Chain A
Amino acid sequence: MTIAPELAEPVLEELRQVLGDEHVLTGKAARFNRARVPAPFPVHRWAERVPDLVVLPGSTAEVSEVVRIANAHRIPIVPRDGGTGLTDGAVPLRHGIVVDVKRMNDIKEIDEVNRTCTVGTGINMLKLNEVLGKYGLIYPDDPASYPCSLVGGRIGTSGWSLIGSRYGHSRDLVLSFDFVLPSGKVIHLGDGAGHKLSKSSSGYQLKHLFMGHQGTLGIATEATLKLFPKPEAELSPFFAFPDYDSAYRTVGQLARAGVATFAGAVLFDEWKVDYLRRDDEAYISQPADVRALVCAVAYGYEDEVIAGGRRLMRIAKENGARYLGDEVSEGDWAARHDRYATPLHGRTKAGQVVPMSWHCEDAAINYSNLPQVRIEWHEIVRKLRERFDMFDDWGMFTYTSANTGVDYLAEIDVGIWEQQLDDESWAAWVQAKKDIAAVALHYGGSISACHGSCREGEVDLVPQELGGGYDVMLDVKRAIDPNNIMNPGKYGLDRAYQLDEGVGR
C-alpha cells in the first residue's frame, strides 16, 4: 500500500481505535472503487483520484471522531454516499480519506402522527420506501438514480426530483439533519432548532446553506424527512408530435394548468427521439412522423388523479398530440425512476456501435428560453463530434421543476467513448462544458438545476453566475473549514485560502 506520509501508521491506528480494524479499508479494490462517479472522465488519469484510505463509520459520533483526527493532521476528507452524482462531488481530488456513510442506514423512527421519519443518511430511498409502504406512506424524493442513491448524497447535492413539481425536491423534503463540521463539532440544522418543523423564521436559514455544498462544508449523518400518503393512483401518458414546436407548446400548457396532482412533465426533442429510435427499443416501432414527445405524470388518490388526468388529456388532445398508448406510456415512465440501469451505447460517425458512458449536462432554464438554448447546445455538441468521433449527441430532455411551469431542468445527453479519451479530447470536452454553461447563463438560467456545478469546465463560470454571492461562499468556506480539509479542490474554493497571498477574487 502506498499512502501519503501523514496517513502513516499512527494515524491509521487512531482511526482503527475509533472504528475497529474492519472499518478502515486500505486495499486497492476499496480505494479504486471510490475514485470516481458515473460521469465520464479520462480513465488514463484514474490514479489521480484514488483516496489513500476509506473509512466506514457507523454513527455520528464516529464520523465526528474521524473528522477531528483528519483536521488535526490536515488530511483531506471526502464524504461519499451513493457515489451517483454527476459533478464529481464524491471524487477525491487530493487523495486523503473517503468517508463512506453506507453503514449508517438505519431507520431510527417512523412518526405516523407527524408524518416524518428519521434515518441514517446512508439509507437508499427505494429501500426506505419499501418499509414506509407497509405504513401506507412514501418519501417521494425521486432522482434518476432512485434505486442506488442515498439520502446523504441528496443533502450534499441538494438533489432534484422527477416528481418535484408535486412533492418538492430534496431541500423541501428534508426537514432537518445532524451535521459534522470540519472541526468534528456536531450541529443540528433545520428550520429553527426543530427536528420536525417545515417552517421557522428564527435566525438565518442555515438548512439551505448546508445542502448542495458537495461535501465542502461537512457531513450529514442523520436526517428527518417529510412523508406523504403513498399514492393510490398514478397516471403517466406519453404523447407524440410531428414537430418540436407543438410539443413545446403542449408541455408549457400542461405545466401551467394548475392541476393539483400534476407531478411533472417531460419534453423530448428531435435529437432525443432520433437517439431513442436507433438505440432504445421503446421507440423503434414509432412512425417516422413522430419527432418530439411529451409525457405528463400525476399522483394522488384515484378520484383526483382521474379528474386532473381528464384535464391533462384534453390539453394534449387540443394541441394535436397523439397518445402513444398505455403500454408505452406506463413502461417508459416506470423506467424513468431507474436511468442508471440502462445499458449504454452510441455510434461512431460511420454508424458502428461503440460502448459509451452517459454524460448529462444540465441547467435551470426558464420556459420561454428553452427553444433557443436547445439550438445552441446542439450546435456545441455538433462541433465537438465533428472533431472527435468519441462524442455522440443523445438529445435533450426538459423536465418541469415546479408546479407553475416557470423553469425547467434542461439536459443535453452526450455519449462519450470513455476508453478513447485522451488529453486533447478531454480538453475539448471541458471547453464544450464551459460553452454549454455559458449559454445557460446568457439566457438568465443557472448552470445546474440538479447535478451541481463543481466539475472541470462549468465550475469556472460559477463566480460569474453567483457574482457577490460567490465571495460570500469563499468567506463561509474559510470560516467553517479554516484548514481546507473538507473535500478540497471543489468549486474553486481553494482561492478562499489564497486571499492573504493577494490571489483570489
Chain B
Amino acid sequence: MSTYRYSEQSQPPDAKQITDVAIERFDEVFEVDPKLMSAHVVQQVFPNWDTLRIVASRHDHLDWMHRHWAEKVVSGQRLLDELED
C-alpha cells in the first residue's frame, strides 16, 4: 500500500512538447497544450492518480469492446510478418 501525499498528487510531471499543439506529462498520455486553453476553456486540475485512472479506464473499455464483439483478436503484425517471410 502506498501513502497518499497531496503534494505529490497535485504536482504533475514536467511537460514535454510533443507537437505544436500537444504536450506529454505521462508516457503516451497526450494533452492539449495549456496555452491553447486560455481563452474559452480552461484546463481543470486533476490529481495524478485521477489522470492515470481515466486513461486506464479507457483501455479497459476498449478491451471490453473487443471481447464483446469476438472471442479473440488476430494480430495484423503476425500476418504481415508471415508475408514478409
Contacts and interface: CB of A to CB of B under 8 A. Distances in A.
A193 interface: no
Interface stretch (A96-104, A351-359, A453-461): A351-359
Interface of B: 18-19, 21-22, 28-30, 32, 36-41, 59, 61-63, 65-66, 68-77, 79-80, 82-83
Interface residue range, chain A: 35 or more
- Select the residue from A230, A234, A345 with max chain B CB neighbours within 10 A: A234
B62 A351 contact: no
B20 to A, nearest CB: 9
Nearest to B41: A353
Most chain A Cβ neighbours within 10 Å, of B65, B69, B77: B69
Given A234-B70, A331-B62, A326 B38 contact: no
A159 B75 CA distance: 30
Given A129-B68, A337-B65, A305 B32 contact: no
A335 B83 CA distance: 28
A154 to B, nearest CB: 17
Contacts of B79: 235, 237, 306, 309-310, 313
A329 B75 CA distance: 9
Contacts, number: 115
B80 A317 contact: yes
A330 B73 contact: yes
B70 to A, nearest CB: 4
A351 B36 contact: yes
A334 B7 CA distance: 36
Contact of A235 (B22, B28, B73): B73
Interface stretch (A49-57, A58-66, A278-286, A493-501): A278-286
19 contacts: A231-B70, A232-B71, A234-B69, A235-B73, A235-B79, A236-B73, A284-B22, A302-B72, A309-B74, A314-B83, A317-B80, A323-B80, A331-B59, A348-B39, A352-B37, A353-B32, A353-B41, A354-B41, A355-B41
Nearest to B42: A353
A338 B65 contact: yes
A281 B76 contact: no
A72 interface: no
B6 to A, nearest CB: 27
Contact of B76 (A129, A235, A314, A354): A235
A233 B70 contact: yes
A89 B18 CA distance: 43
Given A310-B83, A353-B41, A233 B72 contact: yes
Contacts of A354: 40-41
A482 interface: no
Contacts of B70: 230-234, 299
Say what secondary structure dominates the interface of chain B. mixed
Interface in A236-289: 236-237, 277-279, 281, 284-285
- List the 10 closest A-B pairs by CB distance, nearest first: A237-B76, A234-B70, A334-B62, A334-B65, A231-B70, A235-B74, A281-B30, A352-B39, A354-B40, A284-B30
The A interface is mostly helix, strand or loop, or mixed, namely mixed
B68 A330 contact: no
Given A313-B80, A317-B83, A323-B76, A299 B69 contact: yes
Contacts of A277: 19, 21
Contacts of B19: 277-278, 284
Contact of B69 (A302, A305, A337): A337
Given A284-B30, A325-B76, 11 more contacts: A234-B74, A278-B21, A284-B19, A310-B79, A313-B79, A314-B83, A323-B77, A323-B80, A326-B76, A330-B73, A334-B66
Given A285-B30, A352-B37, A352-B39, A325 B77 contact: yes
Given A234-B73, A285-B18, A345 B62 contact: no
Nearest to A280: B30
A325 B81 CA distance: 12
A326 B59 CA distance: 14
A504 interface: no
Contacts of B41: 345, 353-355
Contacts of A234: 66, 69-70, 72-74
Contacts of B38: 352
A233 B22 contact: no
Contacts of A126: 68
A444 interface: no
Contacts of A194: none
